[in-house]
Chain A
């Protein structure tokens, strides 16, 4: 184990922008002189907006100079701007809270409103039980009817109310298959074309594993899943599917065999994005806590766009994962308030985790000859304990040294938990990308925590110490706590369910194992293809760039209600 030279420091540009006029390596700084919250244009905007709101409603609201810490407002230190990593876009911290960021909302909306439903069983029932002929023409006709019905339109009965198309224009259904001949027969408007959307090798792998089956990728209206919940998605979809089959194939709704079709078409072939959670969590399917890490790695599409940069692809999963699992799931579903955002953004801003991870990539090449720019199954390193120990230790020590050399980096990641999460993430990613083994990556995470704790005598808050110092024992074993391979673990896995700053990174570590092998998918090829669809509102190949667009208010979301409310 020996330090390698890496002249490029990806985080330096951000540090210079954030701490203008300060030498990033200076040991001295100043406090209490920044004009409090007024130093931030966004906070000033909030204060101005509040004046009008208070006049309008007659109730006091945002008053940071009186209400914060007994009259000591935020901003005694520099209120930093943040670069969303590898986007080149600097934003205010406030703009990365999901309430202020329409792209973040849409990211989660697009997952929650999605369900995949197989068509093979429905077609078999139509042919064998109902004596109907199923041809490419009837399938296209059915899809036309379904794209009428799915947003909330009637196909069978008189006097039905319908939804305003302008409000549900994000709702649609497409199909995909591994059978190129069948794909040719589907109207292009209804087809997710695997061959066009994926690099050739990935497309071949996906087509082979999907086979000749035909699947519907269904996205119900954003506004429906928002008003209800993720459990609604399959129910809304099922109702419209049933009605569309009846209409497209001219069936009698009361016929006994239609009951068979109902089950076969609406329920038997359903793939949810997230599993139902235990009763104590009180959440249905398609809610964040039930998304398996392997599935999450397939929802994010960065490896499709950057097949020769598994580090970049994994870092996109980190950004997407901490936003969903920390900011939305733990931060709001499970807890509340605004605090989790500050923690989560550390992992996808200012190119800090990126720098630490690319150091790991350089180390892999220097010491093991693993060229991360040409990922392939045959070049991954055998995941021995010795290799994991070496990789995780080196990446961790390098990261510690960077914080020691650049005090502004320490100021940027001012919390122990921020640093611990970022350092361990870089270590875990290096292990998983280099070995192609998700559990080896998780194991590297925990060694990083132990090294970090002994180097600096602290990690983060108590929850951090608790979770991360007992993690070595469950990172590889399948027995304790009903363990499982990384792909099958998720935010509700026993040791992972309790605190912020882990779940997004774990998802990325799992995904990185596959990106390092240039696998076409991590766990579920159907999910990989579904989220490759360019018709989705959110571009899942570039989650961090999309979040940056949301922060600077350039992202146009779905589910807007302007058509049904008074003009402002």
Chain B
């Protein structure tokens, strides 16, 4: 991973930085593309995936370049992620449709909240 390229992508040409590289002009498919493969979209590109398969933070939360990269380890394995997903999903893990007990519980919550909107009185 070439840090200079990443640093360049942080800066606008209007800043006069000679290494400035406009992020909008970064092309997909070249060696640099490796940095993004498998990563979730982040307009600020705050963390990148290096050629060594290590994810590094290169900017802080609001996009200011860090003085040094911060390694956060390897990306999670996709198979492992799918197996440990905490959400319902019809194609990955459990479909909500296939959990009738959970659906019944959700409908019960809604029904009770609706009923108690009437402010029922104890008989």
Q: Could you list which residues of chain A lie within 8 angstroms of chain B, going by C-beta atoms? A: 1, 3, 30-38, 65-66, 69-73, 75-77, 385, 389, 393, 397, 400-401, 404-405, 443, 446-447, 450-451, 454-457, 472-477, 479-480
Contact = CB atoms under 8 A, between A and B. Distances in A.
Interface string B1-20: 00000000001101100000
Contacts of B29: 33
A455 B119 contact: no
B107 A389 contact: yes
Q: How large is the interface on B (under 10, 10 to 19, 20 to 34, 35 or more residues)?
A: 35 or more
Given A38-B24, A76-B43, A476-B118, A70 B12 contact: yes
B12 A32 contact: no
Contact of A404 (B24, B90, B113, B117): B90
B12 A389 contact: no
A457 B44 contact: no
A470 to B, nearest CB: 8
27 contacts: A30-B28, A30-B36, A31-B41, A35-B24, A35-B25, A36-B22, A66-B14, A69-B43, A71-B14, A75-B24, A76-B24, A446-B113, A447-B110, A450-B109, A450-B110, A451-B106, A454-B102, A455-B96, A456-B88, A457-B86, A457-B87, A472-B110, A473-B114, A476-B114, A477-B117, A477-B118, A479-B117
Nearest to A77: B41
Contacts of B22: 36, 65, 71
B79 to A, nearest CB: 13
Contact of B15 (A30, A35, A71, A475): A71
**Main secondary structure on chain B at its contact with chain A?**
loop
Nearest to B109: A450
Given A70-B63, A454-B102, 7 more contacts: A30-B36, A32-B28, A72-B63, A443-B114, A477-B119, A479-B117, A480-B117
A476 B116 CA distance: 10
B87 A456 contact: yes
Interface in B68-93: 86-92
A36 B24 contact: yes
Contacts of B43: 69, 72, 76
A455 B97 CA distance: 10
Contacts of B86: 457
A393 B107 contact: yes
Given A69-B63, A385-B111, A480 B12 contact: no
Contacts of B63: 69-70, 72
Contact of A69 (B33, B44, B87, B92): B44
Interface of B: 11-12, 14-15, 22-29, 33, 36, 41, 43-45, 63, 86-92, 95-97, 102-103, 106-107, 109-111, 113-114, 116-119
Nearest to A472: B113
Contacts of A457: 86-87
A455 B117 contact: no
Contacts, number: 124
Contacts of A3: 97
Contacts of B25: 35-36
Contacts of A38: 24
A527 to B, nearest CB: 30
A477 B26 CA distance: 56
Contacts of B14: 65-66, 71
A475 B117 CA distance: 8
Contacts of B116: 473
A346 B44 CA distance: 25
Nearest to A75: B24
B28 A454 contact: no
A206 B117 CA distance: 35
A73 to B, nearest CB: 5
A72 B23 contact: yes
B8 to A, nearest CB: 11
A492 to B, nearest CB: 20
A79 B107 CA distance: 39
B91 A404 contact: yes
Contact of B45 (A32, A65, A71): A32
Nearest to B89: A404
B23 A476 contact: no
Contacts of A450: 106, 109-110
Contacts of B28: 30-33
A35 to B, nearest CB: 6
Contacts of B23: 32, 36, 71-72, 76
Smallest CB-CB A-B distances: 9 pairs: A36-B24, A71-B12, A473-B117, A472-B113, A477-B117, A33-B28, A447-B110, A389-B107, A401-B90
Nearest to B88: A455
Contacts of B109: 450
Pick the most buried of B12, B36, B119: most chain A CB atoms within 10 A of its CB: B12
Given A32-B26, A473-B116, A455 B107 contact: no
B45 to A, nearest CB: 7
A411 to B, nearest CB: 9
A466 to B, nearest CB: 14
